[in-house]
Amino acid sequence: MVDVRAPLAVLRSVRDLPEFRRLLELRLVSQFGDGLFAAGLAGAILFNPERQATPLAIAGAFAVLFLPYSLLGPFAGALLDRWDRRLVLVGANTGRLLVALIVAALLFARVGDLPILVAALVVNGFTRFVSSGLSAALPHVVPRDRVVAMNSVATATGSISAFLGAFSMVLPRWAFGAGDVGGGAIILIVEIPVLIALWLAWRFPPHMLGPDDTKRAIHGSVAYAVATGWIHGARTVATEPTVAATLAGLAAHRMAFGINSLLMLVIVRHSDTQEVAGFGTAVLFGAATGTGALLAAAVMPVAVARWGRYATANGSLAAAALIQLAGFGLQVPMMMACGFLLGIAGQVVKLCADNAMQLDVDDALRGHVFAVQDSLFWITFILAITMSALVIPVDGQQPGLVLVGSGVYLLGLAAHATLGRRRRPAG
């Protein structure tokens, strides 16, 4: 068994798992493209001198980008448990490749925000299909006793890759400009990592990534499987206490993160030059949160080995409620520090949720549940950012929202502590 307290031992074990290493390569390239696309789109829409974005417009942009697929995702997620996941990854990456070209063309044509956001929504849908597929496939290339450690390795390296992708857009933004043409050029560059991801997905042997045809597999037509995707996913969550508990905690974190993200975006747009300093400050906030999430990948396996998943998630949510309060003054440096620490706490909860789904859910239903998690991940974020946009002033100075975020974390802690104590139903 891997000694999770020895990072070198974990890294050495990666060499002993060649198929996991191939899956990791696919994740790295895919998330690099995700980071580059997200940063390029944010620069083109939110920090573009040719376009304006009020708090409600920012919330609307997030809603258009993420809400439709979040509602439909669990239906589509049924396909991850129906079709060869290798082919699903190939198809999703092909879709990303083609629709990203449309996004670039719309930016070059200087059309309004809505057509660009709708096309980007489709790209994000394919991207999240890839993300869920990679997570659902991991237990097929890793022994059960190494899933916790290897999932942390995959998450950590994926986070680094996404950050590098986002950061890499700075140079082309400087070279091509902060306007629509510069945004279109950056989206075209996204085609390179997506094309590589498509090739890496194609290299896997058929059926290596699942799904398994177990006794809990959903049979019948594809239409039936898709139509009942939400039902089977939600039912599985409800009957697996560890999954229900960690998803409740994750939902609380995403709501608090939505509040904090809107506060930071509005504050920096109001106080800095949006093309340069404001965008840079927003990138630094994202980097601080991402660095915290990266460190969580090292913290979480050690904490789980010592205290277990239940206590680790409870402790993370309690710590997050206290950290959130430190940002009450809405000073940007303190908010950066809080973002870093909340990145650690929130990612620990996210990793606990991943492990619950990878270890406690039958493979024939794992894609369903990861799709439900993805929907919950974004629906709660959009709900929080939209409700906050209704009360936040133009300068972003609304410290009461920080208190609301702390209260949300406490509610998440209560839900996790209660649900996590339930026993799994017999059968």
Mean pLDDT for 182-194 is 93
Query: Between 241-271 and 229-239, two packed helices, what is the crossing angle to 10 degrees?
Result: 110
Which residue range is the domain that position 169 belongs to?
A: 19-207+222-419
In the chain, how long is the greatest CA-to-CA distance? 61
Is residue 425 situated within a structural domain?
Answer: no
Q: How many Cα neighbours within 13 Å face the side chain of 29?
A: 17
**Does 410 fall in a domain?**
yes
If residue 427 lies in a helix (H) or strand (E), which one and from where to where? none
pLDDT over threshold 50, residue 1: no
Checking if the pLDDT of 72 tops 60, the result is yes
Give residue for tokens 């800095």: 272
C-alpha dihedral (309, 313, 315, 317), degrees to nearest 10? 180
| Contact predicate 186/172, CB 8 Å | yes
pLDDT digits (tens, 9 = 90+) for 298-347: 889 889 989 999 999 999 999 999 999 999 988 888 999 999 999 999 99
| Cα–Cα distance for residue pair 272/267, rounded to 1 Å | 8
Residue 8 lies in a domain: no
97 is a domain residue: yes
CATH code of the domain in which 99 resides: 1.20.1250.20
d(CA 218, CA 183): 43
Mean pLDDT of the chain: 85
C-alpha–C-alpha distance, residues 303 and 104, integer Å: 44
Q: Which residue has the higher pLDDT, 61 or 2?
A: 61
Tokens describing residue 382: 């959009």
User: Residue 12 domain-assigned?
Assistant: no
Q: How far apart are CA 388 and CA 401, in angstroms?
A: 7
In a domain, 381, yes or no: yes
Indicate the pLDDT class of residue 254, thresholds 50, 70 and 90: very high
Do 349 and 246 touch, CB atoms closer than 8 A? yes
Within a domain: 217: no
Q: Residue 178, SS3?
A: coil
Is the pTM of the predicted complex or chain greater than 0.85? no
The count of structural domains within the chain is: 1
**Separation CA 182–CA 28 (nearest Å):** 25
**Does residue 427 fall inside a structural domain?**
no
Is the pLDDT confidence value at 167 over 90? no
Q: How are the residues of the chain apportioned to helix, strand and coil, as percentages rounded to the nearest 5?
A: 80, 0, 20
Which among 134, 106, 150, 175 is positioned nearest to 34, based on CA atoms? 134
Q: For residue 216, is pLDDT > 80? A: no
